[in-house]
Amino acid sequence: MSSTEELIKQELGVSKLRSTGQGGGGCINQGSAYETENGTVFVKFNNGAEAFEMFKGEYASLAALHASAVVAVPKAMKVIKNPKGGAMLVMEYLDMQSLSKHSALLGEQMARLHLHNAQLGQAQASAEKSVHKQKDTEGAEFVSQFGFTVTTCCGYLPQDNTWADSWLNFYARKIEQQVEFVEQKHNDRSARPVWTSLMPNLHKLFQDLEIKPALMHGDLWGGNAAETSNGPVVFDPASFYGHSEYDLAISKMFGGFGQAFFKSYHALLPKQPGFEDRLDLYQMF
């Protein structure tokens, strides 16, 4: 057993840690499944200097999605710093296959997720008017602003999730961050004129539109959704509270979601005027 596996064993407080031989990964992280006496876990590895912050954001995102009890995610267990460099994220292992028969159900669940925070707000307002006030100490709590509790990452790029009262201001800050990143890291200034011309007119895309903070997956492309025998699952989130259409824009960028997904989603959350134009804006991100 390697020293890294010994560290995982120690941090989880288990006496058994045996590789199942199953693994996975992408362009950023690698992962392996391990059997323990408490069940099978999946461990993501990254040797980068940014890995600990990145995994903390993913842990918080998984925890927030899990607390909603609307859509299934692997249960996050622990973020571990690796003394050799980088970090690890330990989570529940799920036996997943490509999304197919549960695509429509996932569309419905994502719509319910995007409605969930507003429903919590309504329930909170009703409870405050009641003479028998009783605080619910379990599950998700209503969030009134746009942002998130921690920094999350799009790839290695940290996202500024500082709370804001206005979605327009919050999203404009995200775009500015992206433009600055491209300029500083890649010496590419081609995006600056486009953003400079767009910014003064940004508000026109949101006229007469009431945007309530909704919990986002944050990176909802087809590669981050799958299914088990129990139903659909999403993973690898970079969550924040934002505009529900943001997740939809990302889901349309790289394929992987069929018409059944979008049909069931819009049955609960119909398209608002200007929807297509705002998708173009969100796909800039």
Q: Which residues are catalytic?
A: 219
Output the six-digit token pair for 131. 């003479």
Burial class (CB in 10 A: 0-12, 13-18, 19+), 197: exposed
Burial class (CB in 10 A: 0-12, 13-18, 19+), 229: exposed
CA distances from 155 to 54, 122, 152, 160, 183 (A): 8, 35, 9, 14, 17
Q: Are 264 and 111 in contact (CB under 8 A)?
A: yes
Q: Quick one: angle between helices 51-68 and 103-129, nearest 10?
A: 70
- Paired sense of beta strands 225-228 and 97-98, if any: antiparallel
Kind and range of the H or E run holding 18: strand 18-25
Handedness of CA 133, 136, 137, 143 (dihedral sign): negative
